[in-house]
Amino acid sequence: MTPPYETHEHDVLIIGAGGAGLRAAIEALAQGARVGLVCKSLLGKAHTVMAEGGIAAAMGNVDKKDDWRTHFCDTMRGGKFLNNWRMAQLHAREAPERVRELEQWGALFDRTDDGQILQRAFGGHTFKRLCHVGDRTGLELIRTLQDRGVQQGIDVFMECTITRLIKDGERIAGAFGYWREQGRFVTFKAKSIVIATGGIGKAWKITSNSWEYTADGMALAYEAGAELLDMEFVQFHPTGMVWPPGVQGILVTEAVRGEGGTLKNNRGERFMEKYDPKRMELSTRDVVARAIYTEVKEGRGSIHGGAYLDISHKPAEYVKKKLPSMYHQFKELADVDITTGPMEVGPTCHYMMGGIRVEAETGQSTVPGLFAAGEAAAGLHGSNRLGGNSLSDLLVFGKRAGNAAADYAKSVQSGALDNAQLQDAEREMHACGWLAHVQSGLAPHAGLALDGISLGSGHAQRAGSPRKPRCSQSHRLSQL
Ligand SMILES: Cc1cc2nc3c(=O)[nH]c(=O)nc-3n(C[C@H](O)[C@H](O)[C@H](O)COP(=O)(O)OP(=O)(O)OC[C@H]3O[C@@H](n4cnc5c(N)ncnc54)[C@H](O)[C@@H]3O)c2cc1C
């Protein structure tokens, strides 16, 4: 039966256009699949673009002794050995190749004097391992993948939120969602789906994450019958901004410590000597976050309840070159010049280690035809992710999931989009006040917003047919 909504059909549908989704899409396309890529904001605005410090890969460009085995051991140790060891092995082994490939596709990394990709120190990594572009690595990664994907012919659907996966019997058959601009419903028919929707961090008040991180993919997969894993493993990054209140939680990249930044309490003591005398500021994130928390709780915190992070002993030009975003962030948001004085920092919710349970080799979830990659998937990082291991995760497992999803799509016929499930998905949207949310976007244009009756010029500007919401109570963060 033809569904009563606008419908698009592909072999493989990727939900999420960050690093994991884009890398999966590029790979599925390379395997000959017709690929659709859906994202709830604009292409290029995913979380990946915010990544600052770098991509971890044992290339051995700076520390010749580095190799994938050490990276594997560091990752397992950082994750308290609760990692899926096979994922950690594949990740450490394949990350260098994925970085080289990115470079071949046009990514321009910072360089060593002899022209190789430069690598910097980061917490929990034995050697200098993070390939980077100043403190704007995510921007370069997403730009490169986006150029490659669009040029190769991926169908991109922007500002479209998926709210339900549709099944045909036990297997995946498609997805249901709405266009954010107008609220109109849309369906996607697909033989396989890759979830690459990122994490959950916006559920916390003090967070480095943006509005998009609302656990959508985990909820979608769970409701479709997939198993979730390690949902209690949430990472608090030790260094978020603490002052002024309006910017609380915004990330202060670990690269500041990687470039030699020191942490001090209100007595001027380098307190990491007590918590990890060997690795000091470059200890793992869980240890540094707990150390700052303890210092504050025991009365040795900074004036606004954090710790002092100082990089001003380095030459000002060096700081501006290696940490340009941090320099501007503090200057513009806190009126602090980090080349002359310390920053105030404290823990902020940052990353979700838990998520959809997947097979290491393929990213296959426990639902046939449903795959996951990136922050939405669980296993690689155990109970604590090392900095830089997410960007390499996206590339390694994005590629693997895209490949496996394309393979699966070759092995099956299209499933049917069941009308009862679609109607149920639509009912759910009415019940949770989706239209009120769409209409709130009309507020700047509207004479009277949110009552569905008189929307003034906003109604005319954003064509569609808004109906009056039955209930404005949102029970599901993910749909907003
Ligand atoms: C400030 C900051 C700095 C970081 N720095 C680093 C770093 O230096 N190194 C490192 O390794 N890691 C870093 N991380 C972590 C890393 O950036 C993320 O873990 C990673 O980018 C996640 O990528 P992803 O592809 O899984 O998801 P994302 O990049 O978040 O992409 C998610 C996509 O899913 C879409 N989406 C979500 N829900 C829906 C839905 N319902 N329907 C349709 N689309 C949907 C979004 O629109 C988006 O396109 C940093 C994170 C932050 C927040």
The DSSP output letter for 377 is B
φ and ψ at residue 329, rounded to 5 degrees: -55, -50
Expressed in angstroms and rounded, the spacing between residue 212 Cα and the centre of ligand 1 is 8
Candidate of 91, 130, 159, 197 to mutate for ligand 1, largest count of ligand atoms within 8 Å of Cβ: 197
Both structure tokens of 148: 């490659």
**Structure tokens, 73:** 């051991």
Name which of 59, 195, 194 is nearest 127 in CA terms.
59
| pLDDT the model gives residue 212 | 85
pLDDT tens digit sequence for 210-243:
888 899 999 999 999 999 999 999 999 999 999 9
Q: Which of 170, 162, 184 is nearest to 418 (CA)?
A: 170
Is 69 among the catalytic positions?
no
Q: In the structure encoding, which two tokens stand for residue 142, read together?
A: 């997403």
Edge to edge, what strands does the sheet with 55-56 contain?
55-56, 130-131, 119-120
Alpha-carbon span 47 to 213, nearest angstrom: 8
Domains of the chain as residue ranges with CATH: 6-233+353-423 (3.50.50.60), 235-350 (3.90.700.10), 437-478 (no CATH)
- Residue 185, pLDDT above cutoff 70: yes
Interval 280-306: pLDDT, tens = 999 998 999 999 999 999 999 999 999
Give the per-residue pLDDT at 440. Answer: 56
Taking the centre of ligand 1 as the mean of its atom positions, its distance from the CA of residue 198, in whole angstroms, is: 5
Which has more confidence, 450 or 360? 360
257 is catalytic: yes
Beta strand spans in 169-288 (E) = 171-179, 185-195, 228-229, 234-241, 262-264
What CA–CA distance (Å, rounded) separates 240 from 69? 31
In angstroms, the CA 53 to CA 256 distance is 9
For residue 117, give the DSSP letter. Answer: B
Side chain identity at 142, as an amino acid letter? I
Please name the residue whose Cα sits nearest to atom 6 of ligand 1: 51
Q: Kindly give the distance from the C-alpha atom of residue 65 to the centroid of ligand 1, in angstroms, as a whole number.
A: 31
pLDDT at 475 over 70: no
Give the count of beta carbons closer than 10 Å to the beta carbon of residue 65. Answer: 9
The ligand 1 atom nearest the CA atom of 209: 53
Which candidate in 237, 350, 385, 437 is catalytic? Answer: 237
Tell me which residues have their CB closer than 6 angstroms to ligand 1. 15-21, 38-41, 46-48, 50-54, 137-138, 161-162, 196-198, 208-209, 212, 216, 251, 351, 374-376, 387-391, 394
User: Virtual CA dihedral for 131, 133, 135, 136, nearest 10 degrees?
Assistant: -120
